[in-house]
């Protein structure tokens, strides 16, 4: 050991800066660590696999060119995409993708026994929650927005190139694409907060995740009041091309966007406050996990 | 500044894991210098360290480090560094990235973090391996990078859970020298170890733990002195006539036991009052014209204390 190195002097208060700028620096540092893990860690493999599902399927469709009459009619493509987006992208890829990304923000570190390094840093635990949540959000938004955009383009362009070009340049294509991306972002915000909290409260977060999955799927059967206790209801309210939910669906008025968007954000903020409260009391006991 | 702002204070602290006892009714006031926590596995050493760093919350009682409650990590870890026993790391980082990243999480600017990282790596002599992935490190290197990470922000309190584990003898000696130097600089060092002679070499104070209770605390020799009533001190007297010496000494009440050394050139004696015994020995030697080569306490060290207090339980 280098005992001739310069004397270590206690540097109490060495970390300087007003709280807001200090927190921003800390959040940035947390994000730098987490984004690397989220995009390049060994756990990211599953996310890429999920993300490739709709893209792979639509690539296959582009190669096979189905003979079904719906596929030969350009006007039906927006509805087809709405079905694909709702059934596959939103309810499967984004849902499970967010579950994997956000639950692993804390649970993954507990499994890897590396969470204590954060807890032993001079950082408020609420700032840690914020940093981890934002990094999960950035990861999921980048990945799933890309999936949404790629899927929509892959559905339209291989089948009707010039009509699609007109649809996206002069028609409703671009605004629909923008709305789907907005829904994707809101889904990441809402599901992300939920799964982050689940990862903090439950040793085995799969069960609550599956319960939420079931709840979201039966949403169309629920009475109007219960429908509102879900994420999918608010997201469906924003879909640019509504789809039929079948003969058994309980019809409810969609929530206007001016309520759906801030409502989702407010609920997310409340869930994150819960996460902050939880993490303040959290102990590191890897042996019992 | 009150006294508790210079010490680590446990006020009647208990920690239970469900119904399992971690530590019970611990009251301590640890000043600067090197304090070692000693005890068998499960004695509560790591629990005590985790309580000091807020990784665990006490079931009862209160812990403060230099006056800071342990549930305020943003304040606490400006002054505290903890090298835990968890031999795990965030994946995919090099030694340098690991130290720098967590300095930046603590709020240091990139420039500050770079400087502190270099200084810490240099201090534990890990510079040549700094850009290798930690996954490729040996156990000793992983131990050193954890140590570097815990001292990188230049804390005033350094808590080290079995810090000598996995280090080769040369690095062990260097690490002990580093600890002594840090203590000389005014740091609090709290070290847990089960290698008693090393603890003996470096500690100013010891806290002996067993089954979650503090069974003794203080300077090693002070602890030993307090045990004289129940555990007589053993002294080896090297001399040419051990049997004669034993016969003469037995005429006095200060002697509890005497045994001739196997090589017939020494005498083990046990006494409850070493000071009075040494006076008696002076008289006997002067009167009987015995040739004494040396006199040394055999068990005035931590191993003996440990053996007396914990070893036979």
A185 versus A18: which is more confidently predicted? A185
Q: Which residues of B131-161 are buried (b: 16+ CB within 10 A; e: fewer)?
A: eeebeebeebbbbbbbbbbbbbbbbbbbbbb
Measured in angstroms, the CA of A135 and the nearest CA of chain B are apart by 14
**CB contact, 8 Å: A43 with chain B?**
no
**CB contact, 8 Å: B153 with chain A?**
yes
pLDDT the model gives residue A34? 96
Chain B residue at shortest CA distance from A121: B106
Chain A residue at shortest CA distance from B167: A1
Q: What is the pLDDT of residues B167-220, one digit of tens each?
A: 777 888 888 888 988 888 889 999 998 777 777 778 889 898 888 999 888 887
**What's the Cα-to-Cα distance from B212 to each of B23, B227, B296, rounded to whole Å?**
4, 20, 34
A216 has a pLDDT exceeding 60: yes
Q: Indicate if B78 and B180 belong to the same structural domain.
A: yes
pLDDT the model gives residue A193? 96
Among B91, B108, B186, select the one facing A112 at the smallest CB separation.
B91
Residue B304: pLDDT band by 50, 70, 90 thresholds?
low
Residue B134 maps to which CATH number? Answer: 3.40.50.300
What pTM does this model have?
0.83
Where are chain A's structural domains?
19-59+71-283
> What mean pLDDT value characterizes chain B?
87
Q: What is the pLDDT of residues A116-156, one digit of tens each?
A: 999 999 999 999 999 999 999 999 999 999 999 999 999 99
**CB contact, 8 Å: B145 with chain A?**
no
Task: Return the residue in B71, B75, B105, B116 with the most chain A beta carbons within 10 A, the one to mutate for interface testing.
Answer: B105
Q: In this predicted complex, what is the ipTM?
A: 0.86
Q: What is the DSSP letter of A85?
A: I
Residue B162 backbone class (left: φ over 0; alpha: ψ -120 to 50; beta: rest) = left
Across B117-125, average pLDDT? 94
pLDDT the model gives residue B227? 58
Q: What is the pLDDT of residues B4-42, one digit of tens each?
A: 788 999 999 999 998 889 999 999 999 999 999 988 888
Measured in angstroms, the CA of B209 and the nearest CA of chain A are apart by 20
B142 has a pLDDT exceeding 90: yes
Look up residue B97 and give its two tokens.
């990235």
A8 vs B187: CB contact, 8 Å cut-off?
yes
User: How many CB atoms within 10 Å of residue A178?
Assistant: 12
Q: Do B40 and B310 meet the contact criterion of CB atoms below 8 Å apart?
A: yes
pLDDT the model gives residue B231? 66
Residues near A162 by Cβ (< 8 Å), separated by ≥ 6? none
Q: What is the distance between the alpha carbons of residues A135 and A234, in angstroms, rounded to a whole number? A: 24
Q: What is the distance between the alpha carbons of residues A178 and B20, in angstroms, rounded to a whole number? A: 56
B154 vs A9: CB contact, 8 Å cut-off?
yes
How many domains does chain B contain in total?
A: 2
pLDDT the model gives residue A18? 62
pLDDT the model gives residue B260? 87
Chain A residue at shortest CA distance from B151: A8
Q: Do B240 and B291 meet the contact criterion of CB atoms below 8 Å apart?
A: yes
Give percent of chain A above pLDDT 70.
93
List CB contacts (< 8 A) between B175 and chain A. 1
Residue B270: pLDDT band by 50, 70, 90 thresholds?
confident
Look up residue A95 and give its two tokens.
């849902």
Instruction: Show which of residues 86-125 on chain A sit within 8 Å of chain B, judged by CB atoms.
Output: 109, 112-114, 116-125
pLDDT the model gives residue A163? 92
Q: What is the distance between the alpha carbons of residues A247 and B119, in angstroms, rounded to a whole number? A: 70
Q: Indicate if B182 and B252 belong to the same structural domain.
A: no
Question: Tokens 């929509």 appear where?
Answer: A152
Q: Do B85 and B161 meet the contact criterion of CB atoms below 8 Å apart?
A: yes
Closest to B123 (Cα-Cα) out of A1, A279, A29, A243: A1
A42 vs B91: CB contact, 8 Å cut-off?
yes
B55 vs A26: CB contact, 8 Å cut-off?
no
Residue B292: pLDDT band by 50, 70, 90 thresholds?
confident
Across A153-167, average pLDDT? 91
pLDDT the model gives residue A8? 42
Instruction: Show which of residues 215-234 on chain A sit within 8 Å of chain B, judged by CB atoms.
Output: none
Across A49-54, average pLDDT? 94
B90 vs A112: CB contact, 8 Å cut-off?
yes
What are residue A39's phi and psi, to 5 degrees?
A: -90, -30
Q: List the domain range (segments joined by +) for residue B189.
A: 3-218
In this structure, chain A runs to a length of 289
Give percent of chain B above pLDDT 90.
47
Domain boundary among B192, B218, B244: B218
B132 has a pLDDT exceeding 80: yes
Long-range contacts, A283-287 (Cβ 8 Å, 24+): A283/B50, A283/B55, A283/B56, A283/B57, A284/A115, A284/A116, A284/A119, A284/B50, A284/B55, A284/B56, A285/B17, A285/B56, A286/A110, A286/A113, A286/B86
A4 versus B119: which is more confidently predicted? B119
pLDDT the model gives residue A141? 98
Sheet holding B213-218, edge to edge: B80-83, B157-161, B188-192, B33-38, B205-210, B213-218
């Amino acid at each position: 050991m280098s005992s001739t190195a310069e004397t270590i002097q206690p540097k109490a208060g060495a970390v300087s800066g007003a709280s807001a700028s200090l927190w921003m620096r800390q959040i940035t540092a947390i994000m730098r660590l987490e984004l690397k893990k989220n995009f390049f860690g060994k756990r990211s493999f599953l996310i890429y696999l999920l993300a490739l599902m709709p893209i792979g399927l639509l690539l296959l469709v582009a190669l096979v060119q189905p003979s079904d009459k719906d596929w030969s009619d350009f006007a039906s493509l927006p509805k087809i995409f709405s079905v694909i987006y709702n059934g596959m992208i939103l309810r499967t890829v984004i849902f499970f993708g967010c579950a994997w990304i956000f639950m692993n923000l804390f649970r993954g570190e507990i499994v890897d026994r590396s969470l204590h390094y954060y807890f032993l840093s001079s950082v408020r635990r609420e700032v840690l929650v914020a940093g981890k949540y934002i990094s999960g959000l950035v990861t999921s938004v980048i990945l799933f927005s890309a999936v949404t955009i790629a899927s929509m383009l892959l559905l339209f362009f291989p089948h009707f190139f010039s009509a699609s070009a007109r649809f996206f340049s002069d028609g409703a294509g671009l605004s629909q694409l923008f709305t789907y991306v907005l829904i994707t972002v809101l889904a990441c915000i809402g599901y992300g907060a939920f799964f982050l909290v689940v990862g903090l409260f439950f040793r085995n977060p799969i069960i609550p995740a599956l319960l939420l999955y079931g709840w979201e799927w039966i949403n169309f059967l629920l009475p109007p009041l219960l429908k509102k206790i879900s994420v999918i209801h608010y997201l469906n309210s924003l879909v640019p091309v509504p789809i039929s939910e079948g003969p058994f669906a309980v019809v409810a008025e969609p929530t206007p966007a001016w309520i759906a968007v801030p409502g989702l954000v407010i609920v997310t903020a409340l869930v994150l406050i819960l996460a902050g409260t939880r993490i303040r009391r959290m102990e590191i006991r890897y042996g019992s996990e | 500044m009150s006294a508790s702002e210079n010490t680590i204070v446990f006020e009647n602290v208990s920690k239970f894991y469900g119904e399992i006892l971690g530590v019970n009714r611990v009251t301590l006031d640890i000043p600067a210098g090197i304090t070692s926590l000693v005890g068998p596995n499960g004695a509560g050493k790591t629990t005590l360290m985790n309580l000091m760093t807020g990784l665990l919350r006490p079931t009862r009682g209160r812990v403060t480090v230099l006056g800071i409650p342990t549930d305020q990590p943003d304040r606490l870890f400006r002054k505290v560094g903890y090298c835990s026993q968890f031999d795990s790391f965030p994946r995919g980082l090099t030694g340098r990235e690991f130290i720098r990243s967590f300095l930046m999480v603590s709020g240091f600017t990139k420039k500050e973090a770079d400087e502190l990282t270099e200084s810490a790596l240099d201090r534990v002599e890990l510079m040549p391996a700094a850009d290798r992935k930690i996954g490729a490190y040996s156990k000793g290197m992983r131990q050193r990078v954890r140590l570097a990470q815990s001292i990188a922000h230049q804390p005033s309190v350094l808590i080290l859970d079995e810090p000598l584990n996995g280090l080769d003898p040369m690095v062990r000696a260097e690490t002990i020298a580093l600890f002594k130097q840090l203590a000389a600089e005014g740091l609090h060092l709290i070290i847990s170890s089960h290698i008693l002679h090393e603890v003996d070499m470096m500690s100013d104070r010891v806290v002996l733990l067993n089954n979650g209770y503090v069974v003794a605390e203080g300077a090693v020799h002070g602890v030993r002195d307090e045990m004289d009533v129940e555990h007589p001190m053993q002294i080896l007297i090297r001399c040419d006539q051990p049997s004669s010496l034993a016969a003469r000494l037995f005429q006095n009440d200060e002697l509890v036991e005497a045994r001739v050394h196997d090589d017939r050139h020494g005498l083990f004696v046990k006494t409850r009052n070493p000071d009075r015994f040494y006076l008696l020995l002076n008289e006997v030697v002067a009167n009987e014209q015995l040739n004494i080569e040396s006199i040394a306490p055999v068990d005035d060290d931590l191993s003996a204390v440990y053996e007396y207090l914990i070893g036979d339980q």
